[in-house]
Amino acid sequence: MRLACRRPPARRRPPPATDQATPQASKDQASSSTGTGSNHNPMAGLLLLAVDAVALALLILAAPTAPHSLDGLFSGYGGGSPQHQQADPTPEHEHHFLEAHNNLRARYGVPPLRWSSKLARYARRWSSLRRFDCVVMHSPASPYGENVFWGTGSNWRATDAVASWASEASYFDWRAQACHPGQVCGHFTQLVWNDTEYVGCGRSQCFVDGVFITCSYDPPGNWKGEVPLT
């Protein structure tokens, strides 16, 4: 089962930035429900929730605001932010996510993405915030395009998340340039959105079992009235 948060359309598309979503699957079990069954000390759990709440508030306050214009069926969201940093402190992490994205984009003839450590920090922060419950949801008021993934077990990697999002290609009507009625395909369209230039991803191990992965994109895709590959 795949879950994509719907974003309200807005007026205009902001200019692209220069710096820098929620299917889930599992080798053990695929699910979009909230994880349960923790054996943690209750007080420790309350402390973690309090820390997460503070971090979430900081995340929301730190996010730049911008007008948005998205098709409600699509998962991508946002406006963008300047000054991408091309270096990343974890080259292997960067390589795996970039390779998975760009291998797919090459199949559809769209330009390769570049890594943004700014986007990666944002994505890691959101994945970390979801580590306690691993509820499959998008970050609130994100200024970027965003795909999220959750799977039970601990072996999930970049290729698994990207393959899960890419599987939505079967729900995209290429003649109509839209999702098939009643289907979600916005994670796929964000992956292959031609105008997107940067990606950054984060991965967290859930306390309640599983892995939560977030990838952020800039400029974001899934603009209402536009099509993915042009």
Domains in the chain, CATH or no CATH each: 91-218 (3.40.33.10)
pLDDT digits (tens, 9 = 90+) for 100-156: 999 999 999 999 999 999 999 999 999 988 888 888 889 988 899 999 999 998 889
Please report the pLDDT score of residue 208 as a whole number. 82
pLDDT bin (cut points 50, 70, 90) of residue 198 is very high
Secondary element (H or E) of residue 98 = helix 91-107
Ramachandran bin of 215, using left for φ above 0, alpha for ψ from -120 to 50, beta for the remaining angles: beta
Task: Select from 109, 77, 95, 123 the least CA-distant residue to 215.
Answer: 123
Please report the pLDDT score of residue 222 as a whole number. 96
Estimate to the nearest angstrom the gap between the alpha carbon of 225 and the chain centroid: 22
- 105, two tokens: 């984009």
CA distance 64 to 78: 10
pTM (2 d.p.): 0.66
